[in-house]
Amino acid sequence: MNILTFDSGDKLNEAGANIIAGLIQTQPTAVLGLATGGTPVGIYERLVSGFRRGLLSFRGVTAFNLDEYVGLDRQHPQSYYSYMQKHLFAHIDLPAEQAHIPDGNAADLQAECERYDRLIAEAGQIDLQLLGIGHNGHIGFNEPAHALIRGTHVVDLAEETRKANARFFGSADEVPKQAITMGVGTILKAKTILLVVRGADKADIVRRALTGPITTECPASLLQTHPHLVVLLDKDAAGRLP
């Protein structure tokens, strides 16, 4: 585990973007696992800037997003399809057929989960998986539970998760109750995991995930078992680490 702490958001964003850009520059056909939410926005902005400056191309990259809400049309402003278009995909040369996001409106959600797992398997091992962490320790939308599911699956979102995501909607009632998420088993198969966390409100869960017992009640704690985990923290998120 390699933990890096930064005294500014700009430096953290630059470090995260440099790790991803460096992989693409040395491995143009890299397979990326991508995340959404507020955490990676600044990283995506720097990747877009690097593309516009001619420093990197995404033409050979294949990307798989971690998750998508169930029941939101992909054109809904809070769908993760819309998020990725807004913050990254619409601004780079990644071919649309190589940018994969689960279909939360699929008629058969189980079949969609199986299709998504097949696509990941056909692409080969994910080279780098970008992750954030929820206040309850979820990664992707893998919520705390007595047991975790390895592959892509439909999950009932915890009320804590829905409340945390309400800031993106009009109210907590508008946040979907389910999502499709990549499973923990798939996440842990990535060659490198890049965990990015910001803010004092995440300090407790960062400490628990990185230094506490490994348990499915804190899915992020399973990251301790990964052989190549890189953690980027701002000074506030690192505040409770020993």
Tokens of 8: 């500014």
DSSP states of 72-105: --TTSTTSHHHHHHHHTGGGS---GGGEE---TT
Q: Is 135 a catalytic residue?
A: no
* Annotation marks residue 136 as catalytic: yes
Do residues 229 and 208 make contact, with C-beta atoms less than 8 angstroms apart? no
Burial class (CB in 10 A: 0-12, 13-18, 19+), 142: buried
Options 13, 65, 136, 165, the catalytic residue? 136
Q: How far apart are CA 83 and CA 75, in angstroms?
A: 10
Task: Please report, as a single letter, which amino acid is at residue 117.
Answer: D
Residue tagged active-site, from 13, 67, 87, 234: 67
Given the residues 13, 68, 87, 138, select the one marked as catalytic.
138
| Strands of 67-69's sheet in order across | 67-69, 178-181, 153-156
Query: In angstroms, rounded to a whole number, what is the distance separating the alpha carbons of residues 159 and 132?
Result: 18
Q: Is residue 143 flagged as an active site residue?
A: yes
Strands 62-65 and 99-100: parallel
Q: Which positions are annotated as active-site residues? A: 67, 136, 138, 143
